[in-house]
Amino acid sequence: MIKITLPDGSVREYAKGTTALQIALSISEGLARNVLAAKVNGEVWDATRAIHADSKVVLLTMNDVEGKSTLWHSSAHLMAEALEAIYPGTKFGIGPPIENGFYYDIDLGGKTISQDDFKKIEDKMLELARQGNEYKRSEVSKADAIQYFKEKADEYKLDLLEGLEDGNITFYQQGNFTDLCRGPHIPNTSFIKAVKLMNVAGAYWRGDEKNKMLTRVYAITFTKQKDLTDYLVLLEEAKKRDHRKLGKELELFAFSEKVGMGLPLWLPKGAALRERLIQFLQKQQLKNGYLPVATPHIGNKNLYITSGHYEKYGADSFQPIRTPHEGEEFFLKPMNCPHHCEIYKTSPRSYKDLPIRFAEFGTVYRYEQAGELHGLTRVRGFTQDDAHLFCRPDQVKEEFCKVIDLVLYVFKALDFNDFTAQISLRDPENKTKYIGSDENWALAEAAIIESSAEKGLKTVVELGEAAFYGPKLDFMVKDAIGRKWQLGTIQVDYNLPERFELEYTGSDNMKHRPVMIHRAPFGSLERFIAVLIEHCAGKFPLWLTPDQISVLPISEKYNDYAKKVLELLNNYDIRGLVDDRNEKIGKKIRDTELQKIPYMLIVGEKEEADNMVSVRKQGEGDLGSFSIQDFANIINTEIENRFIK
């Protein structure tokens, strides 16, 4: 018998050679129907693979990332089988799972696939899936593997085989299709119940433009039809919320090929919104004892050699800026931390001076591959709401508590109400991988765990996920349509204080190293605004939105009164515009709704005579007539209420 430890800590005994599927079956039949693969001692295995020793086993379903990717990877084999049946002679490159679904790169030998062909491929896949064919694993010699694909004349698999070692090669076969693959896979094809081809695109073999252009077929599958339906609804909703589309419609930001890919241009409304976010955080930071600093966009190469960033980013990033001086090189800064370390060093520090909190909205530059760029979420230049806290080891917990408060304040102000936090600790079995003393790690890890608990955060703890230089706390928010985004991070660092030889004089009159904490509640303004746009579908909270009101005169006769109304409201710090176009009031209302402006003030003869405005609220309709001052109070109270804790 062997002992199997399940994630809840329970230990069960099974006969040697049991499989994850049998373990699932011993728990419940329903579970067994959903088990796609298993994590055995940290490694993902086929659910049907025999387990011969005491092990920790996690059963994987569609609720797990690895479960999903096993289904999708297996579905790529199924799609390949369908494609081969429909287009004999097709050659196959690679077919990996991706974040949502999978693709297969194929060479159709001159034939093409279009949207019109999707249905027949989907039908074939479902037909094959229903056969319930097992994914059979077999070990093959390199010579036999080469022979097999030579007969098939599949030069891509032969190319892949070249890089593999003999004795380490496995084939998987399901139905009539055999693929070169390491696995793991789902037990059989009947788990695949719903299929959707999403897209076709061109892709160079091995991503190299000197190679042949293959056809990349994207698809997604699910174990239930309903999951596919839900996914397609979500996709539709996500399309409507796409920040690239809304950013253009709301005139927030733009990109220009001439300026360069991945370098966002903030338009007046977007820049003002950005500025409001900055001021909002700055105000809170000042209350919390942060000291603003400002540093340049470039730094000498030596700075980044000291910090270690040169080693990390040097070759794969923007190349150095040279000067007329031989050998002098500057880099665009990839991080603000090295500059802040140098600011720390400008004067001697005592234990009484700590903690010191330097804050800067610092713009950094990192070279991302063109194919990786995406709207504002993946850019080459972005501004971090960065701060570095230099403290004594015994102050880490208090600082963590304060930073968590700040992050929660930000989330509340922006309606991110559903979030979790991940605590990343070091791997206790591999302590040598990490820099910093055991004592300090223990202190910092306890500080993160305790402060998260005190603040009532929903947390997951991940062992071995800490950086080599310190443990961290990351916030994941769920947006309005259930997608998860990583925002905000708090990171302990023992490395940079060491590299920069930072010191303070302790109460013992001796020199000590401070602990450094990096933190950014937004992460970067670009990414944060992108997530925010998609979360609120462009309907920003009232305090942040570009235009809070639009004054709509019902005819040109009342344009002057409309302008007066706006001016008066400006005095109450309310911003907006007058729609004085020569259009019917109905059209003005519809257009204002499209611009997602929260309040419309309609003015005509009666309003002018009574010094009033008729108010319509976005999504709620008519609110009635108000004096200018009463309306100003409504808006300002609505904003204030949000910031009361």
Nearer to Zn ion, 514 or 576 (CB): 514
Contacts for 52 with CB less than 8 Å, ≥ 6 apart: 2, 16, 17
Give just the sign of the alpha carbon dihedral 492, 497, 502, 503: positive
Catalytic residue among 386, 474, 493, 547: 386
36 contacts Zn ion (rule: CB under 5 A): no
Q: What tokens appear for 492 in the block?
A: 């302990």
The answer to whether the beta carbons of residues 387 and 291 sit under 8 Å apart is: no
Q: How far is the CB of 416 from Zn ion (least distance, A)?
A: 23
Q: How far is the CB of 458 from Zn ion (least distance, A)?
A: 26
The answer to whether the beta carbons of residues 169 and 141 sit under 8 Å apart is: yes
**What angle, rounded to 10 degrees, do the helices at 65-86 and 115-130 form?**
110
Q: Where are the alpha helices (DSSP H) in 242-361?
A: 243-249, 268-287, 301-307, 309-313, 337-344
157 contacts Zn ion (rule: CB under 5 A): no
User: Among residues 78, 337, 341, 492, which is the contact residue for Zn ion, using CB under 5 A?
Assistant: 337
Nearer to Zn ion, 243 or 518 (CB): 518
Binding pattern for the stretch 291-330 against Zn ion, x by CB under 5 A and - elsewhere: ----------------------------------------
615 contacts Zn ion (rule: CB under 5 A): no
- Could you tell me if residue 6 is left (phi over 0), alpha (psi between -120 and 50 degrees) or otherwise beta? beta
Q: How far, in Å, are 415, 550, 568, 569, 609 from residue 579 at the CA level?
A: 29, 7, 16, 15, 20
Nearer to Zn ion, 20 or 80 (CB): 80
Catalytic residue among 73, 77, 124, 472: 472
Catalytic site residue 401? no
Q: How far is the CB of 156 from Zn ion (least distance, A)?
A: 15
Catalytic residue among 39, 77, 91, 384: 384
Strand-pair category, 356-365 with 291-292: parallel
Binding pattern for the stretch 176-205 against Zn ion, x by CB under 5 A and - elsewhere: -----x------------------------
Catalytic site residue 386? yes
The window from 41-49, 194-202, 513-521, 539-547 that contacts Zn ion (CB under 5 A) reads 513-521
380 contacts Zn ion (rule: CB under 5 A): no
Nearer to Zn ion, 384 or 592 (CB): 384
Catalytic residue among 181, 337, 341, 391: 337
Nearer to Zn ion, 250 or 337 (CB): 337
Catalytic site residue 472? yes
Binding-residue total with Zn ion (CB under 5 A): 3
Q: How far is the CB of 36 from Zn ion (least distance, A)?
A: 13
Q: What is the CA radius of gyration of the chain?
A: 30
Catalytic site residue 279? no
Contacts for 170 with CB less than 8 Å, ≥ 6 apart: 137, 138, 139, 140, 180, 181, 182, 183
Nearer to Zn ion, 361 or 558 (CB): 361
Extract long-range pairs of 84-88: CB within 8 Å, 24+ residues apart. 84/176, 84/177, 85/124, 85/128, 85/176, 86/120, 86/121, 86/124, 87/111
Q: What tokens appear for 372 in the block?
A: 């990786």
Report the alpha-carbon distance of residue 331 to residue 338 in Å, rounded: 12
518 contacts Zn ion (rule: CB under 5 A): yes
Catalytic residue among 68, 241, 349, 388: 388
Catalytic site residue 384? yes
Q: Which residues bind Zn ion (CB under 5 A)?
A: 181, 337, 518
Indicate which residues carry an active-site annotation: 337, 366, 384, 386, 388, 472, 518
